[in-house]
Structure 1
Amino acid sequence: MTTVEIVRLVIGFAGMAIGVFMFWSLPVPGSSSKSKADLPFLSIIIPARNEESRIVPLLQSLKQQRFKSFEILVVDDDSSDGTVAVAQSYGANVLRNDGSGKSSACWYGAEQARGKWLLFLDADTKFDSEDGLSRLLEFYQGKGARGITALQPFHTVERLYEHISVIFNIIVVVGMNLFTIRGSKLKTAGSFGPCILCDRDDYFLSGGHQKIEGAIMDDLALGEAFLEQDLPVRCLGGKGIISLRMYPEGVGSLIEGWCKSFAVGSKSTHPLVMLMVIFWITGSFTTLGALVSSLVEQNPAAIALSGILYVLYAVQTAWFAGRVGNFKKVIFLVYPVWFAFFIGIYLYSFIRVNVFHSVSWKGRKIKV
């Protein structure tokens, strides 16, 4: 084998090894035998802008929960579709917000809420079992009911193009800095956004969404606001508890959504974690390069080693993906394709944020 082939293989094997340290685990809240009668009244706040086609699964799942001591506040953010009528048909209390954007809607909902605890949910999430809500609440109570407990919903995919999100989903989780081999020793980047549970008093002490209004990555900013008040921020996986389907409208929505968040959000990732992510991604491409080169040169030893490495990288990527979503295993036979999509959309996002200083989301242009 040539020196170049050896270097590619070394980088590939090192990248795969670093990947294990990078994404060591993703814990989820466990079940509890604690009586649900001990849980306080809860306010569920759902900011919604043109969510007529996506909010129904969430509202249906809330009606099916065994824990019933909650109110549902859907805060309408200037919707032009049937969001309000759909929410009202499920018994939700619909609030009309005069502000603009998710943070403004969340703050308005919190001001009107009656619950001791506040649960902010994105409209495209849903609980996966009738005990999902109680599992989350019992975990929060067991940790002292202070600060934030945030879950990253399990990503469900239905169409092929939705698999473009697979590497993004992995790195969104890894980028929180909490799931490496070092565990919680690194400072969290903030909070996951789609499912945030907190105590009402802690929320207003931190300044809540009013303090962070205008932030593109409101979830990360909210977590920082809590940390500034020495309030804990716990982030966990949502597998078996809560899920969501991202960007069912099409590829354009998917690109727009990831563009909005990723280049900005990556700035909160710990340098050590970022370095591991870069090495893992680099290893994925050098592994492909080693395999192609060995096939071209018809080197049996190189073909064997690079083939084994390619398969191992595919298995590892599928393993990581299985923690965050129900991505079809067969797609990882061509895993470099999904890494390439990640690089392309990330670069596009970087240019939009750092050159044009604006991104688009749900018909609004957001300056950054």
Structure 2
Amino acid sequence: MSPARTLVGAAAAGAAAVAVHTAINARLLRDPVADPPADPGTPERPPAGPPTAPRVSVLVPARDEAERLGPCVRAILASREVTFELLVLDDDSSDGTAEAARAAGGTDGRLRVLRGRPLPPGWLGKPHACAQLASAARGEVLVFCDADVELAPDGLAATVAAVDSTPLDLVCPYPRQLATGPGPRLVQPLLQWSWLAFLPLRAAERWPRPSLVAANGQLAATTRTAYERAGGHAAVRAAVLEDIELGRAYTRAGLRAGVVDGTRVAWCRMYRSWAELRDGYTKSLWAAFGSPGAAGAVVGALLWLFVLPPAAAAWGLRRGRYDLVWRGLAGYLAGVAGRSVSARRTGGHVVDTAAHPLSIVVLAWLVARSLAGRRAGTLTWRDRPVVADEGSA
């Protein structure tokens, strides 16, 4: 057998294995809306604070989010079957974020708008904002919610119930990702696909290891006890991907963190244009793999598994190498099948999965761009550097 046939055949087999694993994870993914509590007869845990304190605190960090914050606040305040307070922290915004929060909340006494303190040395903006929110919260259950997330009417109740009914100490209902335009539709669905395809979700619950953690800071819930045991956001004060690092802090503390299906719990439009997506991924992808070498290895594996087969099929068709055509076509279809499973499970566009090889190529370019920006020291987000300034001790 020629080396080309071997390489393409191995890639096709690998893509098929990934598709099977994706299907298994999709089947086993916990659904806080559909799954009943482990013990329906167990009474609700009493709040840790005084009797008048709400059990749940919903915490929204916001920096220059005036355009997006209103729907987020209104959706939270429309939540049913939960007694809660809502805290929004204006993190030194310049666009009227605090005013937008107050306007959306109206006279609802459950809303408090806080003014963020100056960013201290050694901290990045979002971890610092989340730490301030947790410190000001009165609830025993802390629900962190990004300003571009909208909760379903029963979404908050389902999220809080998942804290009680799952073995996870940090529960991250992964919102349905709304993507419009060619760029976002190519790249954004790779978020859910990546952990469905490659992480053993249920095994990670039983044998928690930091390297296997999947987490998402768009929507995350935990008890205050677990949060403090893990060190809170102070433990990830300088992390660009603070959600992943917070999940790892939980596992290092002997706790468990993971994602559950949030498709019917909430939805999120992270990026409204290709330019926003490009800049957003560029500022953070460099930190997703641990090192430039690891990033190169992962990107190389993705290109081998999902781009080489269709490329080989096209080349083989032109050269009359039908052994490569059939192997390449099988690999391409396996890759599309895995993406289709992910799209169906998470509310994505199934038709877009046909462009999976192109999605991987664009992701590879974004990783390279992010690594180059990190090396040049030019990465910023919302007018702040993405690497913490250590300053003076």
Smaller-chain TM-score bracket:
0.7 to 0.9
Unaligned regions of 5+ residues in structure 1, if any? none
Q: Does 1:310 align with 2:329?
A: no
Shift in alpha-carbon separation, 1:214–1:99, aligned structure 2, 3 A: farther
Shift in alpha-carbon separation, 1:224–1:283, aligned structure 2, 3 A: closer
1:183-206 deviation digits (Å, cap 9, x = unpaired)? 754624443211121111222233
Aligned to 1:97: 116
Aligned to 1:361: 381
Shift in alpha-carbon separation, 1:7–1:118, aligned structure 2, 3 A: same
Letter in 1 for 2:90: D
What SS class does the counterpart of residue 289 from structure 2 fall into?
Answer: helix
Letter in 2 for 1:199: T
Q: Does 1:338 align with 2:359?
A: yes
**How many residues get paired?**
359
1:230 to partner: Cα distance: 1.8
1:241-275 deviation digits (Å, cap 9, x = unpaired)? 12211211x2222122112222212229xx9xx98
Q: How many Å separate the matches in 2 of 1:211 and 1:176?
A: 26
Aligned to 1:265: 288
Tell which deviates more after alignment, 155-164 or 311-320: 311-320
Unaligned regions of 5+ residues in structure 2, if any? 48-54, 106-110, 120-124, 389-393
Q: Does 1:350 align with 2:371?
A: yes
Aligned to 1:320: 342
Contact 2:25 2:197 (C-alpha < 8 Å) held by counterparts: no
1:295 to partner: Cα distance: 1.7
Alignment of 1:126-165 (within 5 A): 126-127=150-151, 129-143=152-166, 147-165=169-187
Q: How many Å separate the matches in 2 of 1:182 and 1:82?
A: 42
Q: How many Å separate the matches in 2 of 1:331 and 1:124?
A: 23
Contact 1:178 1:187 (C-alpha < 8 Å) held by counterparts: no
Query: Paired residue for 2:241, among 202, 217, 232?
Result: 217
1:318 to partner: Cα distance: 2.5
Q: Does 1:38 align with 2:44?
A: yes
What SS class does the counterpart of residue 314 from structure 1 fall into?
Answer: helix
Q: Does 1:58 align with 2:72?
A: yes
Q: How many Å separate the matches in 2 of 1:187 and 1:20?
A: 23
Letter in 2 for 1:364: R
What SS class does the counterpart of residue 25 from structure 1 fall into?
Answer: helix
Shift in alpha-carbon separation, 1:148–1:362, aligned structure 2, 3 A: same
Shift in alpha-carbon separation, 1:302–1:208, aligned structure 2, 3 A: closer
Query: Paired residue for 2:220, among 181, 196, 208?
Result: 196
1:301 to partner: Cα distance: 5.6
Q: How many Å separate the matches in 2 of 1:16 and 1:31?
A: 30
Shift in alpha-carbon separation, 1:95–1:17, aligned structure 2, 3 A: same
Shift in alpha-carbon separation, 1:279–1:183, aligned structure 2, 3 A: farther
Question: RMSD value over aligned CA atoms?
Answer: 3.1
